[in-house]
Structure 1
Amino acid sequence: MISVYILTYNEQVDIAECIESVIALSDDVIVIDSYSSDRTTEIASRYPVKIVQHEFESHGKQRTWMLKNIPTKHPWVYILEADERMTPELFAECVAVSQSKEAIGYYVAERVIFMGQWIRHSTQYPRYQMRLFEKGQVWFGDYGHTEREIYTGPVGFLKETYPHYTCGKGLSRWIEKHNRYSTDEAKETLYQLEQGGINWKKLFFGSTEVERRRALKDLSLRLPLRPLVRWFYMYFILGGILDGKAGFAWCTLQAFYEYLILLKVDELRETNLESPYPNSLKYPDPEEPANPLC
């Protein structure tokens, strides 16, 4: 058995289906809510889950806080977002590998569901995220609008995948979220351009999809006409054209997102703001007080 964390904020549209996808599989489901102003916690309270409230600061800090402060029944945990679903096949594989002790954590690939269909090609599938791990062995730091995992032991990759309903709340919510995300990405972009570099070895010979994808992102930050390059890469090189109308819309929205980031990078440069992430991937000390980390 494994424990499951579900992260929420104003997820009344998705939370019921998310919980129902996992509640029959795990006997320890914990909802970490960031003081939602909608009916998220009301709906979640109808199910046999534990609900904990914690003010959201960032994705990395929220994850590290819950790992340090919220006890679980089982030593292995899975992180589930409200717009994602667990499947019986994925859960069975999670339980099996958690008993093998071959690794301290496992990456899981998402299947992006957009406009009612799986965007198979233009999403870089299989695109992996660290979701299953032994508690106390994996932590998280901030990177742009999201987070990156930090660990020191061996990790693996699962065969099963999870569906991710990226636009279940409508395009207006998607655009609103990515407007916020682009601000954090612009700050991280400035920092990476000033302090980071391109790891050519990992770009061409990285041992995992994660290493190659992250090296590719470091390269993309330095490319001219980045939004157009990304659209062409996703639509023609990755094969987004094969995803039909939904694929065209997905590629176009991602290119718009890149353009928004570039505009905000220029805005930050004009206002001479400093990047806020000089220590964004610092490994958190488990013995430190449970205050803002990383």
Structure 2
Amino acid sequence: MSNNKLSLAVVILTYNEEKHIARAIQSVQSFASQIFVIDSGSKDKTVEIAQENGAEVIQHPFINYAKQLQWALDNAPITAQWVMRLDADEIIEADLAQEIHQTLPVLPFDTVGVCLKLKRIFMDKWIRHGGLYPLTLLRIWRYGQGRIEDRWMDEHIILSAGNTITLNGSFADHNLNDLTFFTDKHNKYATREAIDVLNQKYHLFPREKEVVDTRSTSTQAAIKRKVKEKIYNRMPFALSTFLYFLWRYIFRLGFLDGLPGLVYHFLQGYWYRFLVGAKIMELEKAINGMTDKQQILEEISRLTGHKLTDK
């Protein structure tokens, strides 16, 4: 691989990511000309480690992932032609790094987005069944051509125009924390997703227009969202969660991922989805009888701890 850097800026959001941040930065150092770490007040050594590894660290208060990333795109001193979104616990693998380095400089001007294939590593095992691999996600785009959806969960990059391609190499989601961290994180995710589902149902605040094409992340991810919102979310959650786990673990061969796979598919594919449904039920009970949107938002804000209003 050439030692020349690409005109590409990597943006990484962090909060207490000292276990992961050096690994993430080092996985893109061979090709990225700029690396920005947008930190939201880490209390560990995240900032120090990021700076030691050559990243520019910018502090900004965190509301949710979408608002934080969009703030970074609007305010970080990005001078590169391309931008990459990377989570702190993700790694660009060597084959993908080489492919990015070789492909980006020769792309035609009307190609504005690049989708990458995500692999999940859980308990040090690649979870490759259950319909989880490959999941293609739009993670690289021409600067100024993409924005992040303003959602509380499952936010995608939307491109203003142009075509996308998908590279063959993979990047890995490999979090090194324990199951307590995993379940706590997914408990918080469940609250955020419940907010999005209630917004979809009651139109509480502005929401992105649905787009299912190659300009809304990947076609695969966009279609999966459409199925979830148009079919899955309209079923009783006790039934939908069971059917989803059955589909994923049995019919999509999740059982082939062994014991770590059973833990992952059960927790992420059943427990988490059941928890989302239960939280929606709890919140709907709390706002039952309310008709004023402002009052509903204030009550959901009070119950979830997320500020959904300006008051």
Superposition pairs for residues 1-294 of structure 1, below 5 Å? 1=6, 2-95=8-101, 96-100=103-107, 101-156=109-164, 157-165=166-174, 167-194=175-202, 208-218=219-229, 219-224=231-236, 225-254=239-268, 255-272=270-287
Q: Which segments of 5 or more consecutive residues in structure 2 lack a partner in the other structure? A: 1-5, 298-308
C-alpha displacement of 1:241: 0.9
Distance of aligned partners of 1:226 and 1:187 in 2 relative to their CA distance in 1, 3 Å threshold:
same
* 8 Å contact kept, 1:4–1:30: yes
Identity of aligned residues (%): 32
Normalising by structure 2, we get a TM-score of 0.80
Greater relative CO, 1 or 2 (CA 8 Å, sep 6+): 1
C-alpha displacement of 1:59: 1.1
- Structural RMSD (CA): 2.4
Describe the superposition over 1:180-210 as per-residue Cα deviations: whole angstroms up to 9, x where unpaired: 11111112112324469xx9x99xxxx9312
Structure 2 SS opposite 1:160: strand
Matched residue, 1:288: none
* 8 Å contact kept, 2:64–2:152: no
Structure 1 SS opposite 2:150: strand
C-alpha displacement of 1:106: 1.7
Structure 1 SS opposite 2:234: coil
Amino acid at match of 1:70: A
Distance of aligned partners of 1:238 and 1:175 in 2 relative to their CA distance in 1, 3 Å threshold:
same
Matched residue, 1:285: none
* 8 Å contact kept, 2:66–2:152: no
Describe the superposition over 1:137-184 as per-residue Cα deviations: whole angstroms up to 9, x where unpaired: 00012334341222221232222210111x411111111111111111
Structure 2 SS opposite 1:147: coil
CA distance in 2, matches of 1:123, 1:51: 36
Describe the superposition over 1:4-48 as per-residue Cα deviations: whole angstroms up to 9, x where unpaired: 112211101111211222223323211111111111112112122
Distance of aligned partners of 1:181 and 1:31 in 2 relative to their CA distance in 1, 3 Å threshold:
same
* 8 Å contact kept, 2:129–2:252: yes
CA distance in 2, matches of 1:93, 1:5: 19
C-alpha displacement of 1:57: 1.2
Amino acid at match of 2:19: V
Structure 1 SS opposite 2:170: strand
CA distance in 1, matches of 2:19, 2:173: 14
Structure 2 SS opposite 1:104: strand
Distance of aligned partners of 1:229 and 1:98 in 2 relative to their CA distance in 1, 3 Å threshold:
farther
CA distance in 2, matches of 1:143, 1:43: 30
Matched residue, 1:279: none
Of 151-160 and 80-89, more deviation after overlay is shown by 151-160
Describe the superposition over 1:198-227 as per-residue Cα deviations: whole angstroms up to 9, x where unpaired: x9x99xxxx931232122212211223122
CA distance in 2, matches of 1:271, 1:122: 35
CA distance in 2, matches of 1:194, 1:73: 40
* 8 Å contact kept, 2:9–2:84: yes
C-alpha displacement of 1:98: 5.0
Q: How many residues align?
A: 269
Distance of aligned partners of 1:98 and 1:154 in 2 relative to their CA distance in 1, 3 Å threshold:
farther
Q: Which segments of 5 or more consecutive residues in structure 1 lack a partner in the other structure? A: 277-291
Structure 1 SS opposite 2:190: helix
C-alpha displacement of 1:72: 2.2
